[in-house]
Amino acid sequence: MAYQENFQTWLDFAELPAYLRDELLTMDEKTKEDAFYTNLEFGTAGMRGLIGAGTNRINIYVVRQATEGLARLIDEKGENMKKRGVAIAYDSRHFSPEFAFEAAAVLAKHGIQSYVFESLRPTPELSFAVRHLGTFAGIMITASHNPAPFNGYKVYGEDGGQMPPHDADALTDYIRTIDNPFAIEVADVEAEKTSGLIQVIGDAIDAEYLKEVKSVNINPSLIASYGKDMKIVYTPLHGTGEMLARRALAQAGFDSVQVVESQAIADSNFSTVSSPNPESQAAFALAEELGREVGADVLIATDPDADRVGVEVLQKDGSYRNLSGNQIGAIIAKYILEAHKVAGTLPENAALAKSIVSTDLVAKIAESYGATMFNVLTGFKFIAEKIQEFEEKHNHTYLFGFEESFGYLIKPFVRDKDAIQAVLMVAEIAAYYRSRGLTLADGIEEIYQEYGYFAEKTLSVTLAGVDGAEQIKAIMKKFREEKPATFNTTAITTTEDFKAQTSTDQEGTVTPLTTPPSDVLKYTLEDGSWIAVRPSGTEPKIKFYIAVVATSNEEAEAKITAIETEITAFIK
C-alpha cells in the first residue's frame, strides 16, 4: 500500500485520538511519506522510532500490533505459557506508561497474564523480573539513550535476554500478518487489575534484585577501607537509574555518593541535556560541575533505561577524562580477572564475551589470565545465549561480557547489559586504584603500558527515510563489491562477511564463519587494526567501527584520522 493510502486509512479512522488526528492534519508531504512509507520493524533489540502518528512511528496502535503478534506467539505455545505470562516495564519517556498498559491490555484480551511495574524501572530489572517470576517473555518500553522525541519496544525471552532470532523471527511473522492495527481488541485495564490478570508489581522485585546485586562487588574490605569516603558523583540523566543505583551504592558501602539532583527527576523532555546519552561528554556537564564542587574522584552516568553507563575520571590537572566504552570494558575486565586471581577464586575455565565490534584489548587481557574470550554478533542477546550455553554444558564459567556501546554485565542473574551492576564495579575499581594512590585514569594507562595502545572510534551516519534506507543498502553493497585494498596504506589481511558467513584471507582462501548471519563486514589489517561496517538494527544509521593498535596516543589518533577520511571519501 502506498504511503498516501496508509495516511488516508489513519485519517478516516473515526476513533483515532484527537492528538494523533491533529498531528496528521499538520503533516507536510515529506513528513507523511516518512511516517507511512513502511512499518516500524524489529531489529537487533526490538523496535525504536519517533513518537507520533503513522506506521513508521511509535504510538498506541504500533504497540498494540507488536503485542498482538507476541500474544499470538504465546497462544501457539499453549495454556501454560499464557499462565506464565509477560513482565512489562517502562522508562521515563513520553507515553512509556501508556504503552506499557496498552501492551498489558492486548495480552489480557488473549487471557495472558501480565506483571506491570507500578512506575518506571531499569531495563536490567525487567530482565531480572522475567527470570525471577518465571514469565515466558518480557516487554521493555524504552528508546535507551535516544533524544526525547523517541520511544521503543523491546521483547525479552524466558531466559531474560533479548528475544533470540528464532522466536524474534516468529514474532515478526505474526506481526506482519496483522493488516489492520485498528481492529486489535484490548481488555479493560482496571477490570483486569481487579481480576488479577494484570498484576502491578514493584517494591518486592526491587528488593529481590538488590539482594542479587550484593554479589557483584568482589572485595568488600577494600570498599570499607577506601570506598566508604571516596567522592563519587552519580547522575541518572532523568531516567530509571534513580530507582536503584544510589540504593545499590549505599548497600555496598559507598557512603560519599553525591547525586546530581536536578537530573534525578524523571523528565520526559530530558530538560538539562541535549541528549541523555552517557557516551557523550556533553551529558556530564552538570556532573562535572558538581564533581569540581565536592572534589569527586569519579563521575558516573546511566542512560534513561539504565542499561548503559558512562564514566569520567579525575586527572592530575583537576580536569575530568571521559572514558570510551572500550576503555571501561578493559578496566572492568582487568580488575575482575586480577581480583579473582589474587583471591584465589579465578576459575580454570573462566570465560568473557564481547561483540565483534568491541576492542581486542580485552581479548588480550583475557588471554594473559588464561581466560577464554568469545566474540559474538552485536546485540546483547548473543552474550546471553553464551551464558545459557555455559550453564547448560558446564564448559565455562562466565565472568564478564560487554559491548563497546557502553553495555556491561558482570553477574548473570540478569541477561542484558546492566548499568546498576557496572556502577558498582566501576566504584570498586576506583577504590582499588585509590588504595594504590592512583586514579582510574592511571589504571587505563597501566593497561596500555602492559598490553599495547589500543584506540577505537565509531562513526555513525544517519540516513533517514525512504532514500536513507536505500543509501544504506547501496553503501553495504559497495563495500562488498568494491572494497578498498588497503586502509591507511596498510593491506587488508582478512575480510569477514557475516552475512555470507565467510572469512577470506589475502590469498583468497575462504573459510566459514560460525556466527548466525548478520549484515556486517569486518576488515582486519596487517598491523592488527580493523574496520567494521554495519547498519544499525534499531535506527536509520550505518555505523563504521575503527580500531587501531599503536605505540602512543598520537600514533593511534593519526591512524584513526586517516582511516576515517578514507571511509568518508569512499561512501560519497
pLDDT tens for the 572 residues of the chain, in order:
799 999 999 999 999 999 999 999 999 999 999 999 998 887 656 899 999 999 999 999 999 999 999 999 999 999 999 999 999 999 999 999 999 999 999 999 999 999 999 999 999 999 999 999 999 999 999 999 999 999 999 999 999 999 877 788 888 889 889 989 999 999 999 999 999 999 999 999 999 999 999 999 999 999 999 999 999 999 999 999 999 999 999 999 999 999 999 999 999 999 999 999 999 999 999 999 999 999 999 999 999 999 999 999 999 899 999 999 999 999 999 999 999 999 999 999 999 999 999 999 999 999 999 999 999 999 899 999 999 999 999 999 999 999 999 999 999 999 999 999 999 999 999 999 999 999 999 999 999 999 999 999 999 999 887 788 889 999 999 999 998 889 999 999 999 999 999 999 999 999 999 998 999 999 999 999 999 999 987 678 999 999 999 989 899 999 999 999 999 999 98
Identify whether residues 426 and 303 lie together within a single domain: yes
350 found inside a domain: yes
3-state helix, strand, coil split of the chain in percent (to 5) is 45, 20, 35
Rounded distance between C-alpha atoms, residue 402 and residue 400, angstroms:
7
β-strand pairing of 257-259 with 298-302: unpaired
Find the CATH number of the domain harbouring 67: 3.40.120.10
Strands 490-497 and 114-117: unpaired
Q: What is the pLDDT of residues 152-178, one digit of tens each?
A: 999 999 999 998 777 888 888 898 899
Same domain, 405 and 494: no
Asked whether residue 14 is domain-assigned, the answer is no
Q: Do residue 271 and residue 365 come from a single domain? A: yes
CA distance 248 to 264: 15
Q: Are 459 and 546 in contact (CB under 8 A)?
A: yes
In a domain, 10, yes or no: no
Query: Do 519 and 563 belong together in one domain?
Result: yes
Query: Residue 534 in 3-state DSSP?
Result: strand
Of residues 225, 410, 406, the one with CA closest to residue 327: 406
Residues 6+ apart with CB under 8 A from 459: 543, 544, 545, 546, 564, 567, 568
- Same domain flag for 395 and 506: no
Which DSSP string corresponds to 472-497?
HHHHHHHHHHS--SEETTEEEEEEEE
Strands 114-117 and 198-201: parallel
Give backbone dihedrals phi and psi of 228, rounded to 5 degrees, phi first: -55, -45
For residues 102, 378, 328, 530, the Cα torsion angle rounded to the nearest 10 degrees is -150
Give the catalytic positions in this structure. Answer: 144
Query: What is the distance between the terminal CA atoms of the chain, rounded to a whole angstrom?
Result: 32
The answer to whether residue 170 sits within a structural domain is: yes
pLDDT score, position 167: 83
Pairing type for strands 232-235 and 510-512 reads: unpaired
H and E: helices and strands count for the chain: 20, 23
CA distance 133 to 209: 12
Residues 222 and 141 both lie in one domain: no
Partnered with residue 458 across adjacent β-strands are 545
Looking at the fold, whether 423 and 464 belong to one and the same domain comes out as: no
Specify whether 426 is located in the same domain as 288: yes
Of 422, 451, 480, the domain-final residue:
451
Whether residue 509 sits in one domain with residue 439 = no
Cβ 60 vs Cβ 99: under 8 Å? yes
Last residue of a domain, one of 398, 418, 451: 451
Question: Does some domain include residue 24?
Answer: no
Residues 227 and 97 in one domain: no
pLDDT in the model for residue 166 = 79
Residue 209 within a domain = no
In the chain, the number of structural domains is: 3
Q: Same domain for 95 and 139?
A: yes
User: Kindly report the CA angle at 195 between 194 and 199, in degrees rounded to 5?
Assistant: 75
End residue of a domain, out of 413, 428, 451: 451
Asked if the structure places residue 102 within a domain, the reply is yes
Pairing assessment for the beta strands 350-355 and 372-376 based on DSSP bridges: parallel
d(CA 152, CA 138): 14
Domain for residue 1, yes or no?
A: no
Other Cβ atoms within 10 Å of 115 Cβ, number: 21
> 369 in the Ramachandran plot: left (φ > 0), alpha (ψ -120 to 50) or beta?
alpha
The domain that holds 516 is classified in CATH as: 3.30.310.50
pTM: 0.94
Please answer whether residues 18 and 53 qualify as being in contact, where contact means their C-beta atoms are separated by less than 8 angstroms: no
Is residue 459 located within the same domain as residue 444? no
Question: What is the secondary structure of 490-525 as a DSSP string?
Answer: EEEEEEEETTTTEEEETT--EEE--SPP-S-EEEEE
Structural domain range at position 563: 453-570
